[in-house]
């Protein structure tokens, strides 16, 4: 598909995107309204506030909230946007996205026609790659990714001496992604970080080896009412952590209804560190062998530790319900 690029000021001269460009990007004017507020609202009295109107549900529209540039290919928007930019995404944007060596915010901007802004790997490639970047994803769905590591997203280690961080916020959903090795939903490399907030979720992903939902060697922090659920994998169907990785569950974060064909239905910990705080839950997970909730691999050198730091933590029921040995003298970081 041909790539287009405009500014909202060009659209506002005519008041209609259809006067400038082909029908593939009809509805651009409403996206400009979302990005700049420079055009009259196209929202009817029956539409909910904050939801723009568009006539073509298959359109990918990406607006840089500061520069007012408009794109119909998300990678073009990423490449053209300076560090610190916010990109507003409407519709379904297909293909792989790579963000390197910059800070970006990707924000879903729903429309009356398509209420779920989506990044779609089309079952051909990983959806999102983060290299040496700090990326915030809010209110977006990442789906149909396929890769060896990290079908939905891959968060890399140092790149040009910079570490990588992926932050999931709002209603962000990572679902229906697959990895042939590890991290069906997200794979987090050493020196990289994944943070989840609000009601973001990683669900119904698959890995043939470990970490159906999340896998890796980095730092993974789950907060608020975040959930990792209904993922499948051989080991650590929900989350698999490998040395020197750290997994922290805070607030009401939950790992539930994941299914492992071997061990670690909810979590498998290969000599890393797992810290369960507040009212975190690891429940209703299953494993064909051992560790329905948590399967821990450790040794006397203080590797492979599972810390339960609150009486409100729920480590079951799971199937089998063989909770690992845990410690209550909890570390304080830094992580």
At 11-20, the pLDDT tens digits run 443 333 332 3
Element (H, E) at 129: strand 128-131
Whole-angstrom CA distances from 270 to 182, 255, 305 are 13, 17, 9
pLDDT per residue over 243-275, tens digit each?
A: 999 999 999 999 999 999 999 999 999 999 999
Phi first, then psi, for residue 17 (nearest 5°) are -65, -30
Gap between the Cα atoms of 84 and 134, Å rounded = 9
Based on the structure, what is the number of domains in the chain? Answer: 1
Q: Cβ distance 152 to 125 under 8 Å?
A: no
| Domain that residue 171 falls in | 121-335
Q: What is the pTM of this model?
A: 0.84
Predicted local distance difference test score (pLDDT) of residue 21: 34
Secondary structure (3-state) at 287: strand
Please check the confidence at residue 38 and state whether its pLDDT lies above 50.
no
Residue 17 lies in a domain: no
Containing 211, the helix (H) or strand (E) segment is: none
Strand-pair category, 97-100 with 85-94: unpaired
Residue linked to tokens 């460009």: 21
What is residue 323's predicted lDDT score, i.e. its pLDDT? Answer: 85
Q: What is the DSSP letter of 274?
A: E
The verdict on residue 233 lying in a domain is yes
In a domain, 238, yes or no: yes
Per-residue pLDDT band for 58 (boundaries 50, 70, 90) equals low
Q: What is the pLDDT of residue 37?
A: 39
- For residues 147-160, give the mean pLDDT: 89
Tell me how far apart the alpha carbons of residues 5 and 312 are, in angstroms, rounded to a whole number.
52
61: three-class secondary structure by DSSP: strand
Residue 37 belongs to a domain: no
Q: Comparing 112 with 248, which gets the higher pLDDT?
A: 248
Rounded CA separation 203/201 (Å)? 6
The predicted pLDDT at position 55 comes to: 33
Within the chain, what is the greatest distance between any pair of CA atoms? 71
Domain membership flag for residue 252: yes
| Stronger pLDDT, 4 or 135, i.e. the higher one | 135
Q: What is the DSSP letter of 48?
A: P
Which of the four pLDDT bands, split at 50, 70 and 90, describes residue 45? very low
Return the SS3 of 24: helix
Q: Please report the pLDDT score of residue 332 as a whole number.
A: 79
């Amino acid at each position: 598909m041909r790539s287009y690029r405009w500014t909202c000021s060009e659209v506002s001269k005519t008041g209609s995107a259809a006067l400038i460009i082909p029908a593939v990007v009809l509805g651009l004017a409403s996206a400009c309204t979302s990005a700049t507020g420079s055009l009259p609202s196209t929202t009817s009295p029956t539409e909910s506030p904050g939801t723009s109107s568009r006539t073509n549900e298959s359109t990918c529209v990406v607006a840089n909230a500061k520069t007012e540039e408009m794109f119909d290919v998300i990678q073009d928007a990423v490449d053209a946007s300076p560090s610190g930019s916010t990109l507003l995404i409407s519709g379904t944007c297909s293909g792989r996205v790579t963000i390197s060596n910059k800070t970006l915010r990707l924000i879903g901007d729903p429309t009356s026609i398509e209420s779920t802004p989506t990044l779609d790997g089309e079952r051909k490639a990983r959806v999102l790659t983060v290299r040496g970047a700090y990326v915030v994803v809010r209110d977006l769905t990442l789906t149909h990714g396929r890769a060896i590591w990290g079908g939905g997203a891959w968060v890399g280690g140092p790149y040009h001496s910079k570490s990588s961080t992926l932050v999931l916020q709002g209603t962000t959903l990572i679902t229906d992604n697959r990895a042939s090795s590890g991290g069906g939903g997200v794979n987090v490399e050493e020196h990289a970080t994944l943070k989840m907030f609000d009601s973001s979720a990683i669900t119904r992903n698959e890995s043939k080896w470990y970490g159906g939902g999340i896998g890796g060697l980095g730092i993974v922090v789950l907060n608020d009412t975040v959930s990792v659920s209904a993922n499948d994998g051989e080991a650590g169907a929900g989350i698999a952590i490998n040395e020197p990785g750290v997994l922290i569950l805070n607030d009401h974060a939950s790992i539930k209804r994941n299914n492992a064909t071997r061990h670690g239905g909810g979590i498998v910990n290969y000599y890393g560190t797992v810290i369960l705080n507040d009212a975190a839950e690891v429940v209703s997970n299953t494993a064909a062998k051992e560790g329905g909730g948590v399967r821990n691999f450790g040794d006397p050198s203080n590797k492979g530790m599972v810390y339960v730091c609150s009486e409100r933590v729920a480590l079951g029921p799971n199937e089998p319900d063989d909770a690992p040995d845990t410690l209550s003298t909890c570390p304080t970081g830094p992580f």
